[in-house]
Amino acid sequence: KSFNHTKLKKKMAEKGDNDDLVPEDTGFKPPAPKSLDEILNADKDDPSLENYKKQLLGNTVPPVFPDNPRNVIVQKIQIEFLGESREPANIQLMDADLSVLKKSPIVIKEGVNYRVKVFFYVQREIVAGLRYINCSYKMGIRVAKDDLMVGSYPPKAEPHVYSSPAQEAPSGMMARGTYTIKSRFTDDDRNDFLSWEWAIKIKDSWKD
């Protein structure tokens, strides 16, 4: 019986669509969530702990976007090119048409070091165990997955910023081309705060 490469490729691509953006199981069981009021009102008889919580959490702020029920709102991502005299590339996600993002790939010169910054708002409650998942595909086959721990954040009137570790763009003739990236901003409980697709194009120069 002959080996059907096309069928295998299709099966792998379909599996990736369903499973790739699921956070990896670390075995960690997050504690039961507590509201911001519960945290602030606990241990009121301990002044030092009260001061510590105020320094850590800051003053309580009303929701930045009261009509949006989400506690986490992703504003944009920014691709920062390290050691290059080049402006960062920004992808707006809040109130944007996410379906068109992958139609305009961001050009990255091969071998360049870069990192991704995520700008996001937290409102109403403290969020814990945030994670940023990226899966990269070339010609339908997954070639990389990053499951990044973002951390825990309190509500804030301004956006929080998470910076991913620096990574090197692939290089060489076989590595050039367009990569589709499926991203998800989630947490340990697998809440889907935002999922989107975008694209990069690896080239031998910065020319579009």
Where do the domains of the chain lie?
Answer: 5-30+61-203
**Residue 191 has what pLDDT?**
92
Which pTM was predicted?
A: 0.78
**Residue 21 has what pLDDT?**
67
Q: Is residue 134 a contact partner of residue 183, using CB atoms and an 8 Å limit?
A: yes
Kind and range of the H or E element at 16? helix 5-19
Average pLDDT over residues 160-179: 96
Separation of alpha carbons 62 and 69, rounded Å: 13
The percent of residues above 70 in pLDDT, for the chain, comes to 71
**Torsion angles phi and psi, residue 106, rounded to 5:** -85, 125
More confident residue, 21 or 189: 189
**CATH topology for the 5-30+61-203 domain:** Coagulation Factor XIII; Chain A, domain 1 (2.70.50)
